[in-house]
Every structure is written in C-alpha cells, then in structure tokens.
Amino acid sequence: MLSSLIDFSDYSFIKCNTVKSDPLSSRSMASKTPVGFIGLGNMGSPMAKNLLRNGYPVIATDVFPESCKELQDLGAQVVDSPAEVADKADRIITMLPSSPNVIEVYTGPNGILKKVKKGTLLIDSSTIDPAVSKEMAVAAEKMGAVFMDAPVSGGVGAASLAKLTFMVGGVEEEYHAAQELLTCMGANVVYCGQVGTGQAAKICNNMLLAIGMIGTAETMNLGIRLGLDPKLLAQILNMSSGRCWSSDTYNPVPGVMEGVPSANNYQGGFGTTLMAKDLGLAQNTATNTKTPIPLGSLAHQIYRVMSARGYANKDFSSVFQFLREEEGQ
C-alpha cells in the first residue's frame, strides 16, 4: 500500500495470462459514456476526479452527501442512491470501506442490482473478503451484469496522482473493458485471474506490509536504545540485506524522512483501523484454507490492540510509537 511515495517513471500494464478479447468490443467503443462512481471517501473522491479529468461524465453518490459537493462542483452529476446510479450508467465503480458496505450497496433496498441494466460492467475497488466478491459476482450475473474485483494499492497520494496499482479479478474477456477505465486512475493494472483473485493479491500484499512495518519499527527501536542515531541506522539498513519498503520509503521513526506520516505525528496515510481490518481478512482466509500465518496473526493482534489504545486513526506506521510507549509499562 501507499506506493504514492514511489516515483513511477512510466505507465505499465501487467497481465498474468493472455487476454483473448476483441479490442473493438462494444464497451471499448462506448469510450466516454457516463461512468457511475459510488463511495467518495479519501480514495474514491480523487479516483472519480481523475475520471472527470480524462473526459468521462461521472454520475456519483455517497452515503454522506457532503462528500459529493466537491465532485459536483467539478461537473459530476450527483444522485441519491446506488440504484439511481445503476439506472443512469452501464459502467460503475465502487470504492467502499468493508464487506458489509459492499453487500448493502449492491444488494440492499436501494442497491445497484435493483436497477442494474443487462450488460453493465461493475468494478469494485474496495478491499473485502474474496468470498464476498464471489457472492456479488453471482448476484450480478443473475441480473445479466458483469462484476469484477479490482482493489488498489497506493494510498491517497497515488489516487490523487493517478498512480494506483489495480489488482483485477473477473471474467477474462472483460479485462480490457475494465482496463480502459482503470488506466485513468492508476499506473499499473494487473489481471490476476477469476473473481476474488484481485482481493487475494491485495490481502497478501497488506499482510506482508504489516509484518514488514512491525519488523522495521522493532529494529529501529532496538538500534536507538543501543545508542545508534536513527538516520544513520536507516542509512545502514537501506544499503544492507534488511532493506525494505518500510525502511527506505516509509520509515516509521519521526525525523528520519520527510513527507511521510511519521514526520507529521502519524497523520494521513493508511489508518491503523484499516490495517487491522485487512489483517482480519487475511486471518479469515488463512483459517478457511488451513494456511499457517503465525506472523500475520501476530500482526493482526498488534494492530487490533493499537486500535483500542488510541491509535485507530493514526497511520499504521505509528506501531513505532506504540512500541516506544509499551516500554514504559
């Protein structure tokens, strides 16, 4: 996550398998027809803005109407419910906080599937349980629509700069239709396989990210207690085998790097509560597949404790501050 701090020198589109689809499909030819967007939070709002910048008319809604005002001022049409979005657009993107939100937006009383048109392409960029993505795909198929999961990595900064990474799962023949929209919002679009595989890739990435951040925080804290200057220690780590994204791009120690949450009292970035949620998804899928994840489970517990001790709204790199405070107890 949070690769907004990485400088992507060019746009690349990665695909795991050969896509067999007609590049002149009806959806591709539709081009600048309206795109629905549901969920205008910290991530959804800049993503929708990038669609507008690329010339796509946007029809939007959010559970909090005040979230729609800025987008409306930029030219988007704002409606009252997901069902109204589905009535007006045949390509819809959703960006929502959790599995229950996705279920409600798609299948609730005012949900997308109440008014969805046959042939509509539904792209969900939320980070949710892969099993829920599969359920939504089945429900959409019954209505003649196509559902794809396309969670993102990159954080708010990358969303603003259209440098997100999308991990896409769904019907292979529809990949290019989804890619047309996703490339307006991201630097990398990766086709992962059937519905749910995008979510699987995202969950695995965030589990590793959490483990790496905790390890970096522990390492930096130990080095400081042993008398090492934190900037010097970070420099050594980043030219040695311990180097990782959390040490060289998103260091959790205040004063080591500029432009990261640790330099701003851990404000902004990727919240501890969201990391705890994603680790919970990893834990659930690991249990269901009987996969041992001892470090992932421990990371989940650490971030859950942090969420209950005043760190819920701080960036997940605040685990360094949490460990420092634990010393005094």
Cβ atoms of 3 and 163 within 8 Å: the answer is yes
Q: What is the DSSP string of 203-260?
A: HHHHHHHHHHHHHHHHHHHHHHHTT--HHHHHHHHTTSTT--HHHHTS--STTT-SSS
**Cα–Cα distances in angstroms (integers) from residue 128 to residues 78, 125, 149, 319, in the given order:** 25, 9, 9, 23
| 50: its two tokens | 């990038």
Taking phi first (over 0 means left), then psi (-120 to 50 degrees means alpha), and beta for anything else, what does residue 265 get? left
Cβ atoms of 276 and 299 within 8 Å: the answer is no
| Catalytic site includes residue 134 | no
Who's near 241: CB < 8 A, 6+ residues apart? none
Residue (of 79, 88, 180, 199) closest to 137 by Cα position: 199
Who's near 30: CB < 8 A, 6+ residues apart? 90, 91
Burial 145-156 (b: 16+ CB within 10 A, else e): bbbbbbbbbbbb
Strand partners, 77: 59
The catalytically annotated residue of 202, 277, 290, 314 is: 202
| 314: its two tokens | 């701080």
Helices (H), the chain: 26-30, 44-53, 69-73, 82-88, 99-107, 130-142, 155-160, 175-182, 197-225, 230-237, 245-248, 272-288, 294-306, 319-326
**Helix, strand, or coil (residue 185):** coil
| 184: its two tokens | 């307006």
Beta strands 77-78; 91-94: pairing state:
unpaired
Q: Which residues have a catalytic role annotated?
A: 202
